[in-house]
Structure 1
Amino acid sequence: MFSSNPILSASAPSIEAYQQAITQSSQAVAAWLQQPEMYQGKTVAELRERIRLDFNPQGLGNQAAIERAIEYFLKDSLSVHHPQCVAHLHCPSLVVSQAAEVLINATNQSMDSWDQSPSATIIEMKLIEWLRARVGYQPGDAGVFTSGGTQSNLMGLMLARDAFFARQGHSVQQDGLPGNMKKVKVLCSENAHFSVQKNMALLGMGYQAVTLVKTDQFARMDMQDLAEKVAQAHARGEQIMAIVATAGTTDAGAIDPLRAIATLAAEHQIWVHVDAAWGGALLLSEKYRDYLDGIDLMDSITLDFHKQFFQTISCGAFLLKEARHYELMRYQAAYLNSEFDEAQGVPNLVAKSLQTTRRFDALKLWMGLEALGQKQYAEIIDHGITLAQQVAHYITSQRELELVMAPQLASVLFRYQPQNREANVALLNQQIGDALLASGHANVGVTEFAGVTCLKMTLLNPTVSLEDIKLLLALVDRTAQQLLAGQDCA
């Protein structure tokens, strides 16, 4: 019927078309990986002009469509594997993760019901059991893979909200939100991820429901201020439905004092969710696992595997300490998770997820653990943290570089501080970051920490060495000198 065999199927022509398409794409990727530039350096305006959607009514065929994707997407993509690409929590991926994607995409399993993903369902459940054991939770499979931190944080806050009202005899699931929510609050540090506010708005409570707690000199939640904020809330007649702790803030990599937060929360029967999207990688660490002391006391946990677990996007997980809380979101549909299935012990994971149709992303983590083993996995996770400490030490020895904060995970906050010059230092550092990306040579983050505009290196790439970073810092210095000579930042 279709001469170009567009559908993947068991027919010989379809299999041949599939192999040709995969070969053509993988060969293009191999060539792209070897290009020296981190980025081709095109601006927003140039990309808008270059990329045009001009669909042929008759279609171009697989080969031509792939060629156009190579030309207009692949060649202009950021090389996240490049040693000078250090701006964000954006990791290069494991080779075996790429192989997993081939299996995931070809089989196209949907994780909402067992009869759409039989082996995949069991593998995901066993991985959740394994992750719970790493955390220190009781044996069980209360948890699910997610698209990432924002979705996992939403699940934690939603269940915290519904558990809060359930204790008062009100079912949000059945009856919706009660009338006045103004006095129900969530506490998190001023360095917590923006998804706390975003998710509280999605949950119908708004940004106003979020109370920010001060942080200490290391960007961690300040326990004295947390205790004061709890006392102040109670004095105003407010109720606290949750505290969101952070294990790995986006910029500083700070880990809040988890055990102390859990102890205070227990005194007031407050749910604690920990956003460990980044720091959760230390569950595998051999050197730094103690940074997560107290994580076993959390009511729910966010994990991301497309950060320092080096998996392809997207791959995250949500863990729930007590399985009974899943009843707060369970819904039965005869076509997915019927009572008959449940009575037979059929595990339909749709009851654990905010998503219905869902990819089998758990395969990537399983194959990563199988291929590397826990010891090698630990080594590449620990490498980034150790490298960040080495880089920080090197920065302190450089005359015109200033370390803004000592690293805690694999990020380094620093700035270029010119000597004996009249310059707008904040603007200069912003321009350094912009100029490096525009040149295509490097991608260094620009952020603000404690009122200071600074540069950020997030050292997730296990193939990057201290010598690579020294070359990058020399490039930062050279770029700054050129900007100063041009007086752009005066």
Structure 2
Amino acid sequence: MRHHLFNARNLDRYRDDMTSGLDALVGHVAGVTQPFSGTGVPSVAHRVAEVDLDQPLGDLDAVIDEMRTVYLDDAVWFHEPRYLAHLNCPVVIPALVAELFVSAVNSSLDTWDQSAGGTLVERRLVDWAAGRIGFGEEADGVFTSGGTQSNLQALLVARGQAYLSGDADPAEPLAQTLTRFRIFASRDSHFSVQKSANVLGLGLDAVVTVPTDDRHRMDPWLLDAEITRARAAGLIPMAVVATAGTTDFGSIDPLNRVADVCADHGVWLHVDAAYGGGLLVSTRRRHLIDGVERADSVTIDFHKTFFQPVSSSAVIVRRGDDLRHVTYHADYLNPRSAALPNQVDKSLQTTRRFDALKLWLTLRVMGADAIGDYLDDVIDLAHVGHGLLRDDPDFEVVVAPTLSTLVFRFRPAGVPEGIADEVNPRIRRTIAGRGNAVIAGTVVDGRAWLKFTLLNPETTADDLRAVLDLIREIGRELLDELRAEARG
């Protein structure tokens, strides 16, 4: 008997081993007191390299103990209130229950004969998300691995539509046409727009960067001018990417005005709402994403502001027929003659996990309003944090939050820009080395800044004050060191 296979004969072993794993996880998390151990790369690398993968331990408890040393002891814990770095959320328990079924049943969502009911659950959730966006019955979409893949698929579809728009010359060689396609996105848009252009054969130069206003939102008048200029130069406007929640600032481009420009020029509008998509279930801030219903395609990352485990994203299109640009029929998988709901017809992936089940269980246990309330809570906290920074003479803050990010830096009166550029990254590294908080950093107009990304409803104003005090303390120590070096 093959004792390690999950099947009806081995259910006792499965239950025992899963219980051992669950007990180990619960016991470990109960002892976590800060988001990171503070360890460096060499220490972890040494422990991982010491493991002889060709000599199995055989005993699960021994393996779990080993796993602690190579993974759990130095894991970064997003559920800790003072993890304030990136767009990583604590996850809700119903979604973790779903993971049990997703992994054990191991459905593959490419074809009906590999997933059956899973196919229809995903399709129902796509319809639900499309309805929340404001799309009609013709809308469709598919779950993806994340915002980067969702954006890539949306732009692939936009490229296909651009060929049909009348601007492309069917007699022109394909390679030449590709060099004329242009994508327009704000300077604060996600790097996946440039990456997608490269993957699609357009090249990095195909992305036209549109300036932003003082709140880091795309300027629709300059967008209009850039599209007009491109057409006059014989280029083909392929798509506009508006961002609903930029990574650094949480800024939301003026979607209705951008949609007006796209309508005037007949250009595909994609809204990257990987971050801001959670506003679709907000009971207090849904209006912030008004205009998203005018998009041709939308990216939503459920593993950000819907508090789902990685990975869980979706790309939703206004007209389901547009997904034909990603369809490929294989006789062994999804032949043209198959009258079945095969999701591979709409996806860049073939084998694909049933990640939709996590959102399904979350909605069925908690409801959409509860998810929206979690997001509203962290946005409320970001406004509190902005007030703390604005009123503190030791800090500068870039812009008031729209979502839940704060970009700021330690710079007391009299500290030159260059010194602030040196001190703030060192503050971040010092905090990481202690592990009692985790914060992020970024660059704004060539200058070094720090960043809080708030996605934990359990984080409090007192947590923010404590981390700001820590930043201040370390910052003053570093300034004293620099002054001493200058005198010496």
TM-score by length of 1: 0.94
Superposed CA deviations along residues 106-133 of structure 1, whole A, max 9, x for unmatched, are: 1100000111111111111111111111
The counterpart of 2:436, out of the listed 426, 441, 455, is 441
Matched, 1:205 2:199: no
Farther off after superposition, 62-71 or 200-209: 62-71
Q: Which residue of 2 aligns with 1:31?
A: 27
User: How far does residue 340 in structure 1 lie from its aligned partner after superposition?
Assistant: 3.6
Q: What SS class does the counterpart of residue 83 from structure 2 fall into?
A: coil
Alignment of 1:42-121 (within 5 A): 42-52=39-49, 53-57=51-55, 60-121=58-119
TM-aligned CA deviation for residue 40 of structure 1: 1.3
The amino acid that maps onto 1:448 is: V
**Contact (CA 8 Å) 1:125, 1:141: kept in 2 or not?**
no
1:401 aligned to which of 363, 378, 395: 395
Aligned residue in 2 for 1:320: 317
* Structure 1 position 367, deviation (Å): 1.0
Counterpart position of 1:249: 246
Matched, 1:16 2:5: no
Amino acid at match of 2:376: D
C-alpha deviations, 1:265-305, integer Å up to 9, x for none? 11111111111000111000111111111101100010001
Tell me, yes or no, if the aligned pair for 1:132 and 1:140 is still in contact at 8 Å: no
Cα distance, 1:268–1:420 mapped onto 2, change above 3 Å: closer
Q: Does the aligned pair in 2 maintain the 1:129–1:140 contact within 8 Å?
A: no
Structure 1 runs (4+) greater than 6 angstroms displaced = 169-172
Task: Say if 1:341 and 1:44 are closer, same or farther in 2 by CA, change over 3 A.
Answer: same
SS in 1 for 2:438: coil
How far the C-alpha of 1:347 sits from its partner, in A, is: 0.6
Offset of 1:443 from its aligned partner?
0.7
Report the Cα offset of residue 59 of structure 1: 5.2
Q: How does 1:134-173 map to 2 (within 5 A)?
A: 134-140=132-138, 142-168=140-166
Aligned 8 A contact 1:186 1:242 in 2: yes
- Residues of 2 paired with 1:483 and 1:26: CA distance? 43
Secondary structure of the equivalent of 1:354? coil
Q: Is the 8 A contact 1:329 1:351 kept in 2?
A: yes
Letter in 1 for 2:252: I
1:306 to 303, 308, 311: 303
Give the SS at the match of 2:303: coil
Q: Tell me the equivalent position of 1:417.
A: 411
Residue pair 2:308, 2:358 contacting (<8 A) in 1 also = yes
- The farther-off stretch of 113-122 and 46-55 is 46-55
1:487 alignment partner, one of 473, 476, 482 = 482
* Larger mean Cα displacement after TM superposition, 398-407 or 61-70: 61-70
For 1:223 and 1:378, how far apart are their aligned partners in 2? 29
The 3-state SS of whatever aligns with 2:406 is strand
After TM superposition, the structure 1 = structure 2 runs for residues 174-323 of structure 1, keeping only pairs within 5 Å, are: 177-323=174-320
Write out aligned runs for 1:365-404 (5 A).
365-404=359-398
CA contact (8 A) 1:162 1:171 kept: no
SS at match of 2:184: strand
Q: In the TM superposition, what is the alpha-carbon distance from 1:421 to its structure 2 partner?
A: 4.9
Q: CA deviation at 1:262?
A: 1.1
What is the CA–CA distance in structure 1 between the aligned matches of 2:362 and 2:18, rounded to whole Å? 22
Partner secondary structure for residue 248 of structure 2: coil
CA contact (8 A) 2:384 2:461 kept: yes
Q: Give CA deviations for 1:70-120 in whole Å, capped at 9, x if unaligned.
A: 221111101111111111001111111111111100110000011111111
User: In terms of mean alpha carbon deviation, does 186-195 or 58-67 score higher?
Assistant: 58-67
Question: Shift of the alpha carbon at 1:50?
Answer: 2.0
2-structure distance, mates of 1:170, 1:231: 16
Q: Is 1:455 paired with 2:450?
A: yes
TM-score by structure 2 length?
0.94
What is the aligned partner in structure 1 of residue 423 from structure 2?
Answer: 428
Q: 1:176 deviation in Å? A: 9.1
Query: More displaced, 212-221 or 132-141?
Result: 132-141
Q: CA separation in 1, counterparts of 2:24 and 2:38?
A: 20
Distance 1:41 1:327 in 2: 48
Contact 1:308 1:381 in 2 (8 A): yes
Say whether the 8 Å CA contact 2:47–2:69 is kept in structure 1. no
Number of matched residues? 481
Is the 1:126–1:141 Cα contact (8 Å) retained in structure 2? Answer: no
Which residue type is aligned with residue 64 of structure 1? A
- Matched AA of 1:294: G
Q: Which amino acid aligns with 2:129?
A: L
Residue 466 (str. 1) matches residue 461 (str. 2): yes
Q: Give the CA deviation at 1:141.
A: 5.3
Equivalent in the alignment of 1:349: 343
Distance in 2 between residues matched to 1:180 and 1:170, nearest whole Å: 7
Displacement of 1:401: 1.6
**Cα deviation code 1:169-218 (max 9, x no counterpart):** 9899xx99343432221111111100011111111111011110001100
In the alignment, the residues of structure 1 paired with residue 24 and residue 422 of structure 2 have an alpha-carbon distance, to the nearest angstrom, of 39
How far is 1:306 from its partner? 0.7
1-structure distance, mates of 2:211, 2:389: 28
Q: Distance in 2 between matches of 1:429 and 1:18?
A: 49
Mapped to 1, the partners of 2:37 and 2:57 lie a distance apart of 29
Q: CA deviation at 1:336?
A: 2.3
**What is the letter of the counterpart of residue 301 of structure 2?**
D
Paired letter, 2:292: I
